[in-house]
Structure 1
């Protein structure tokens, strides 16, 4: 008999070697399956490290790093992590122990299990996945009478933020090409070249002699060398990924590097002063021990790095790109890049704006300044800078022009000028031919625009093409962004259950790579999906992790999104005062209309929960006046519903000239039912309107939407003495009472009613 183990949202079938989480299959590497099954089968005790190594690897010569990677993937497969440890617990100085509750179901296998192959090394978080890229965005969800599930409206606005954020991150970390000349066709490899190893090159921070004047070289030269090799036709991981691997101590362990990033060559660099100038020495190490080296000397440090990188590229199967840049400008740009990589935006801006007049007019410097603008949330200023650059003919070389267009598209998405953004990405796709990294970013950006506009099939198509392009570029972080966007897209399509596993894996991947901006977006999106499913405790935990990351996030709009996710989670948990206190710490929502709409909606929600209908009414009217119709129709429908609920409670009239109350969204249909109540229509008409709203909510399938309708209808039924009907209706959402405050309050209200009233109504009916 091969048992089937049930734990949390997961089922592990040892007969078929299959794991399902929330009903969805999770792809497992063979070693992850062995680790998972061994720990769960020996859950009565702690398992030593050596015992687990033998069970998983069938040998003893295994490093701690190798076992650590298996544990990380095992936890990730079941939705656990090294911080929570709710399923696999680390026993210090001993080993590991299974701690989750398990229910065992015996089953005879119909056939012997087929062996499962491990996925390619270059995939950092294995799982079968449709293609997708930049992160959309996700707002927090919610419930009920003074609350509402952020069904697609929030997801759309959320999509916007996340989307933009990932989009932004995508071009933000892409190193600017330091010369203006077009890249020549890739030349034949050097006669001594070794075929490139599987995966992309990882360029590590440069080793420099001590001295404050060279502090910028560590990151600046790393970024420059990586960009130069990339322009030579080689796949090179982003500087962000390199810093994440370095910070995690993975750079000295080839096995851990491959597991973490799928990287092939590891490129080290060293700067040595020669008295009259500088020597830059490069060494590329393959996992199999092969090493390729190159070095160069020059009076200018950046020029020495350029010559060394150009000599190394052919030895790794690439080519030496043509073109150089004025030494002074090259060093200034790399100093600024080093500051940006270190998160010092003010320093980066000061370096760039202190340039001599002739340098300040250079297109590359203006592009770098636009990148600082974007990271600082100054999107209008950054867009104006890029538009001047394009209008003055400063971006003629195809690759640089593609980078500028991608940056422009990201700015326009943030400003919600979607038609212009789509045009920018269309142009970038044409310019990116032969440059898979930029092509992937252009397709990703365009997919984001499609998703925000509700064109999901087109979004999936572009995400698919982007994933192929970015995989060929070898950037694991960029591919992880696409995978995360798939989760956001699923949530936006009203499928939060399908979105959650993807977003959980995205969170783990971004945390592992140290990608703070992307991590923040994934956390906000995950909290939104959890709220729509009324998994309130999970949403509270996720939004708390988002608040922990807040100080590392520079973009004020993204910071505001994390704060809204936390406030929405607290509010839906029945803590409106705590939600209001958190929301009071939020920076302004930003220039985007979607963010303004979401912020106003959440404020109105909280005011209603705090029994302040007049304030909720004023907030709703102010937001509806400020944000024109057509922006996020479903989110607007929720706000119109909140306005009507507040007006009824405050005995105020309906909003003059408001849009019709019967439409395609659940809040429209609820507002229609409330309008019938206000007009004192017959109970049968009101019943029919509520039934119609509930039918639509159940077809959409999100628990938060269902609860929203049930709470509104039950409230009306109780006010009219129809207690038994309200109780029967409340039973439909009783399973969610544990975490959702409004649902719990309804259950408590019913429990306080005398039992004889329910019985009398049952008899009379």
Structure 2
């Protein structure tokens, strides 16, 4: 079998040997940087999404964008790629990265041959979606025996970190989360819907406090019932008290004594279950054994993301605990969390090698864990099979959190491979499972993925609703980076939906959180969205200042395509303010930059087509355009399915209208049909405003009513639609209707100038 050896610049990358040479010298490269380099090179025919790269490198999805950004910066330093030049790794705005260096594939002996980029994975047939829907019905049918059908978050129980007295007790640090998790698991086994302990621990970390109150936890998780526990050392051992609360009322209270905090809390937990009419265990159980307590210590350290302590506890475990399935599973989980992928893979395989001796839950957890290292090694198909096997095991069990994780992971890998229909089906099933589990934090991450899929399908209203829900959840958990990113996506969707004022309120909501960000690229991307929102609300000076600051930003320079996108927006501002010559210069420079093959992705389709439209309009408005026959100096963007058809036909219509109105009308009709079929309200309005104005100027006001009426519902929020409506009423000689429309346009204008004919007509009406 041949080995993959890649050549680029002065570098030689041997994938199998995990070696990177430069000029014949072996370089020292960290495992994660090497993995990221291989993944980008092996998928260089396309842009690689951030989630895909995280899954491929870390084998899990709970890695922050800041961590990924740090890794990319290290990767660039290794290959000598300056952030400003991006000659090897380009940043793709709001998506991920792409390898752009000229790269050749050689054999292990360095006989160089050209390497065609690998092909895309074909999308599954639509029948798979129907099968997934059927599978969902089966899953729900099985759960009806184990879980209540109502998914009201207030039905969930949140167990708060346990207060340990005295706080200076040597064991207080682990007992705080360890006992919390013990109580939560006990309640879960008794059939109650309990918020995952990881959600509580994450909230505590974001708040920087070891203990949390009901109000804070309720705000984060949506839970309506709470368990508040205290354990304290006394002369005769330990005393644990547990309160069952609903809002600020104590509904039940129990207390128990024990030789240890664990034993006392376990006894108190049993008494609470009896008080609630739930099945409880005995006061002394296997859970009080030293090995069980040792495992609890490990679990508490993992909840606190203290993996150093967790690994020490694993290494120092009693001899009779080491090598057991419970110990093996925790060791593999810690290896996975600390990015020791080969060790994690070996651990999960060792565990699976003990079948059928291990229980079904351990079997499923091992399969879910194994999918990460397998995906990181590049075998996404095997990772999906591992998760599919876990799903099969979990369907008949009362383990919704694990089932939700399995569906989420498989959906993510399917989305990475382009199987959008199958990914959507998996995400839908994951959502049901995670709601049953009360896992609000993972639900927020899931909602972001679902919103992205909806936006890709031009279902912008649904995408906005999903992003809003995700933003609310991230806000409750105090996750600044993901909250700001979600709000940026919300504002973008609102602009597509012609809701500029709503978008302004959205970005204002993010402002207090910006100081908590420590990720320049995220700040630059949000700044671009903020500037667009300001521009579309008539805050022209402020918008221009933000765009100009982005042009001079080092972070913006690291994002491939950002300077061109900013120039397109500035060209639009110039054109609206009557400076067609400047608009043409900016737009032409932007279009030349956007012609870079690295930006061929459909992610840049709107930027390309917006740039081409403003270039075409500004050229026609300048004296130079009078001698040109083409609508612009550059060819129309190609291969932009859906969106491209809208703008190609629109530019053709605007160009032909003065000389061939019939041909222009056909082009307008085609453009509008494409906008309604594959565009957003903003695209529909772009076509209607252009066509309606052409008809009004041609003296065809009656015919214009049919066209203009299609944006009447948006005239109350969108400036261009309001201006169009005012011009129509003026042409139809309807003074009262004109006055109302003019008032709306005046209200929405901001710093944008109102057309002279409308100003004159308004003066005459006074």
TM-score (norm 1): 0.53
Q: In structure 2, what is the equivalent of residue 666 of structure 1?
A: 643
**Are the aligned partners of 1:557 and 1:590 in contact in 2 as well (CA < 8 Å)?**
no
Match 1:221 to one of 178, 181, 194: 178
Residues 497-548 of structure 1: per-residue CA shift (max 9 Å, x gap): 4555565566556545656566445534432332222111111111221233
- Give the secondary structure class of the aligned counterpart of 2:163: coil
**Are the aligned partners of 1:570 and 1:579 in contact in 2 as well (CA < 8 Å)?**
no
Matched, 1:690 2:647: no
Name the CA distance, whole Å, in 1 between partners of 2:439 and 2:522.
24
Name the CA distance, whole Å, in 1 between partners of 2:370 and 2:226.
31
Q: Per the alignment, do residues 391 and 371 of structure 1 end up closer, same or farther by CA in structure 2, a change over 3 Å counting?
A: closer
Q: Per the alignment, do residues 457 and 566 of structure 1 end up closer, same or farther by CA in structure 2, a change over 3 Å counting?
A: same
Matched, 1:541 2:505: yes
Match 1:608 to one of 544, 550, 571: 571
Q: In structure 2, what is the equivalent of residue 761 of structure 1?
A: none
- Give the secondary structure class of the aligned counterpart of 2:251: coil
Name the CA distance, whole Å, in 2 between partners of 1:558 and 1:405.
31
Match 1:530 to one of 494, 506, 528: 494
Aligned residue runs from structure 1 range 572-591, under 5 A: 572-574=536-538, 575=540, 576-580=543-547, 583=550
Name the CA distance, whole Å, in 1 between partners of 2:419 and 2:368.
25
Q: In structure 2, what is the equivalent of residue 638 of structure 1?
A: 606
Q: In structure 2, what is the equivalent of residue 202 of structure 1?
A: 158
Name the CA distance, whole Å, in 2 between partners of 1:666 and 1:560.
26
Q: Per the alignment, do residues 731 and 512 of structure 1 end up closer, same or farther by CA in structure 2, a change over 3 Å counting?
A: same
Residues 201-234 of structure 1: per-residue CA shift (max 9 Å, x gap): 4221221323497784475436643675488576
Name the CA distance, whole Å, in 2 between partners of 1:637 and 1:736.
24
Q: Per the alignment, do residues 401 and 710 of structure 1 end up closer, same or farther by CA in structure 2, a change over 3 Å counting?
A: same
TM-score (norm 2): 0.53
**Are the aligned partners of 2:240 and 2:268 in contact in 1 as well (CA < 8 Å)?**
no
**Are the aligned partners of 1:447 and 1:462 in contact in 2 as well (CA < 8 Å)?**
yes
Name the CA distance, whole Å, in 2 between partners of 1:325 and 1:588.
51
Aligned residue runs from structure 1 range 373-388, under 5 A: 382=339, 385-386=340-341, 388=343
Shift of 1:237: 0.8
Matched, 1:237 2:195: yes
Larger Rg: 2
- Give the secondary structure class of the aligned counterpart of 1:534: coil
Name the CA distance, whole Å, in 2 between partners of 1:647 and 1:336.
56
Name the CA distance, whole Å, in 2 between partners of 1:354 and 1:260.
32
Matched, 1:389 2:344: yes
Q: In structure 1, what is the equivalent of residue 680 of structure 2?
A: 702
Q: In structure 1, what is the equivalent of residue 233 of structure 2?
A: 272
Match 1:289 to one of 245, 248, 251: 251
Name the CA distance, whole Å, in 2 between partners of 1:231 and 1:502.
29
**Are the aligned partners of 2:241 and 2:255 in contact in 1 as well (CA < 8 Å)?**
yes
Name the CA distance, whole Å, in 1 between partners of 2:414 and 2:441.
22
Which consecutive unaligned segments of at least 5 residues does structure 2 have? Answer: 1-47, 65-152, 318-326, 353-361, 575-582, 620-624, 626-631, 728-751, 762-766
Matched, 1:567 2:531: yes
Q: Per the alignment, do residues 263 and 601 of structure 1 end up closer, same or farther by CA in structure 2, a change over 3 Å counting?
A: farther
Aligned residue runs from structure 1 range 27-42, under 5 A: none
**Are the aligned partners of 1:641 and 1:668 in contact in 2 as well (CA < 8 Å)?**
no
Name the CA distance, whole Å, in 2 between partners of 1:665 and 1:673.
13
Name the CA distance, whole Å, in 2 between partners of 1:239 and 1:388.
26
Q: In structure 2, what is the equivalent of residue 429 of structure 1?
A: 391
**Are the aligned partners of 1:409 and 1:425 in contact in 2 as well (CA < 8 Å)?**
no
Shift of 1:675: 6.3
Match 2:363 to one of 370, 389, 398: 398
Q: Greater share of helix residues, 1 or 2?
A: 2
Number of residues of Structure 1 aligned to a counterpart in Structure 2: 536
Aligned residue runs from structure 1 range 367-516, under 5 A: 367-368=333-334, 371=337, 382=339, 385-386=340-341, 388-391=343-346, 393=349, 396=352, 397-404=362-369, 422=384, 425-430=387-392, 432=394, 434=397, 435-447=399-411, 458-459=422-423, 461-475=425-439, 491-498=455-462, 500=464, 504=468, 507-508=471-472, 511-512=475-476
Shift of 1:694: 1.3
Name the CA distance, whole Å, in 1 between partners of 2:519 and 2:393.
29
Shift of 1:242: 3.9
Q: Per the alignment, do residues 227 and 411 of structure 1 end up closer, same or farther by CA in structure 2, a change over 3 Å counting?
A: farther
Q: Per the alignment, do residues 199 and 451 of structure 1 end up closer, same or farther by CA in structure 2, a change over 3 Å counting?
A: same
Q: Per the alignment, do residues 646 and 389 of structure 1 end up closer, same or farther by CA in structure 2, a change over 3 Å counting?
A: farther
- Give the secondary structure class of the aligned counterpart of 2:634: coil
Name the CA distance, whole Å, in 2 between partners of 1:198 and 1:754.
55
Name the CA distance, whole Å, in 1 between partners of 2:449 and 2:370.
21
Q: Per the alignment, do residues 602 and 754 of structure 1 end up closer, same or farther by CA in structure 2, a change over 3 Å counting?
A: closer
- Give the secondary structure class of the aligned counterpart of 1:426: helix
Which consecutive unaligned segments of at least 5 residues does structure 1 have? Answer: 1-155, 173-196, 341-347, 373-381, 758-765
Name the CA distance, whole Å, in 1 between partners of 2:755 and 2:471.
40
**Are the aligned partners of 1:295 and 1:308 in contact in 2 as well (CA < 8 Å)?**
yes
Shift of 1:668: 3.2
Shift of 1:444: 3.3
- Give the secondary structure class of the aligned counterpart of 1:389: helix
Q: In structure 1, what is the equivalent of residue 596 of structure 2?
A: 625
Name the CA distance, whole Å, in 1 between partners of 2:520 and 2:373.
19
- Give the secondary structure class of the aligned counterpart of 2:231: strand
Q: Per the alignment, do residues 674 and 231 of structure 1 end up closer, same or farther by CA in structure 2, a change over 3 Å counting?
A: same
Q: Per the alignment, do residues 545 and 305 of structure 1 end up closer, same or farther by CA in structure 2, a change over 3 Å counting?
A: farther
**Are the aligned partners of 2:242 and 2:269 in contact in 1 as well (CA < 8 Å)?**
no
Residues 127-183 of structure 1: per-residue CA shift (max 9 Å, x gap): xxxxxxxxxxxxxxxxxxxxxxxxxxxxx999999999xx988799xxxxxxxxxxx
**Are the aligned partners of 1:669 and 1:693 in contact in 2 as well (CA < 8 Å)?**
yes
Name the CA distance, whole Å, in 2 between partners of 1:409 and 1:585.
42
Name the CA distance, whole Å, in 2 between partners of 1:423 and 1:431.
12
Shift of 1:390: 1.4
**Are the aligned partners of 2:311 and 2:334 in contact in 1 as well (CA < 8 Å)?**
no
Q: In structure 1, what is the equivalent of residue 756 of structure 2?
A: 752
Shift of 1:641: 1.6
How big is the alpha-carbon RMSD for the aligned residues of Structure 1 and Structure 2?
Answer: 6.0
Shift of 1:445: 4.0
- Give the secondary structure class of the aligned counterpart of 2:755: helix
